[in-house]
Structure 1
């Protein structure tokens, strides 16, 4: 196997992994949006990012198709199920909005790292046709991480205020 073959194989595996991670992101964010009541700005930003994530999945589908392959149904299903389970685990917590904010912030940085790695593989493997799509997805993930970072103080203060008014169950969503 030549070095170019190895890079191609690794790049395709990375694209499939990113595809599964984006499917997982959808399964994490969608239940959150349906439960948010007291944090409309968070719900609005999550809805926007769900749309962005669907666009990222479409871009990954196109990149995979350019290599005559597609996402891994098994990886997609496995990570989607784990994302759903994570969302469910937080839904029973009194501080759901806080835990979701932490998890979303960490998850965005995981995705940022994945896209940065894919960009390195694209450069080293000569897959320059993939660079614009990967950079667009990276930028969207960086924007979302920045938004969460900037809004965490607001969410935390609102949570504390709602908790003081009516206890933890009133403050969660």
Structure 2
């Protein structure tokens, strides 16, 4: 029974992670399309979108190896939620800052999710999943670190653009 429970928790967690990564794409892609004055942010978002697509593939490979599939319903629901969140910031005069803060929070949510999934994988003996989950975790930690390391620079650039009369929004 415990093995079945652990497997069940693991499958649900993987499906949630798959949906979470689809949500991340639905947040980042609209942001990327609106960035004009922050090429360093656009470059990093573009890189992380590619990483996120790879993360989705890794999760799908893990699920396939367990004879399972992702949850289309969860994917769609969280993608819609992500799109709405991204649209919510477009009306803000400091959209680039709000997006940066939200992205940092979301990256940390993803980090916690992958740490939890790794714990379940190791506890349940799903060792074939560990390397893929560790790769996803490392990419999320790198993105969170980048965002954390650039918030001061981004804020200063926003202020500079705003004070010079240029569009500071995106």
Structure 1 length as normaliser, TM-score?
0.97
Residue number in structure 1 paired with 2:156: 157
Deviations along 1:75-111, one digit per CA (max 9) or x if unpaired, are 0000000000010000111100000000000000000
The aligned counterpart of 2:119 is 120
**In 2, Cα distance between equivalents of 1:172 and 1:71:** 36
Report the counterpart of residue 142 of structure 1 in structure 2: 141
**Residue of structure 2 in register with 1:79 after alignment:** 78
How many angstroms does 1:155 deviate by? Answer: 0.5
The aligned residue for residue 49 of structure 2 is: 50
Partner of residue 172, structure 1: 169
**Residue in structure 2 matched with residue 40 of structure 1 by the alignment:** 39
Total equivalences in the alignment: 170
Unaligned runs of 5+ residues in structure 2 are none
Q: How big is the alpha-carbon RMSD for the aligned residues of Structure 1 and Structure 2?
A: 0.7
Deviation (angstroms), 1:15: 0.1
2:154 match: secondary structure: helix
How far residue 59 of structure 1 moved from its aligned partner, in angstroms, is 0.3
Equivalent residue of 1:171, what SS?
coil
Structure 1 position 165, deviation (Å): 1.6
1:123-148 Cα offsets, whole Å, 9 max, x none, are: 10000000000000000000000000
After the TM superposition, which segments of 4 or more aligned residues of structure 1 sit over 4 Å from their partners? none
1:164 positional shift: 1.0
Structure 1 CA distance for aligned equivalents of residues 66 and 8 of structure 2: 10
User: Structure 1: where are the runs of 5+ without partners?
Assistant: none
| Counterpart position of 1:66 | 65
Q: 1:63 aligns to what SS in structure 2?
A: helix
Distance 1:148 1:54 in 2: 19
Shift of 1:16: 0.1
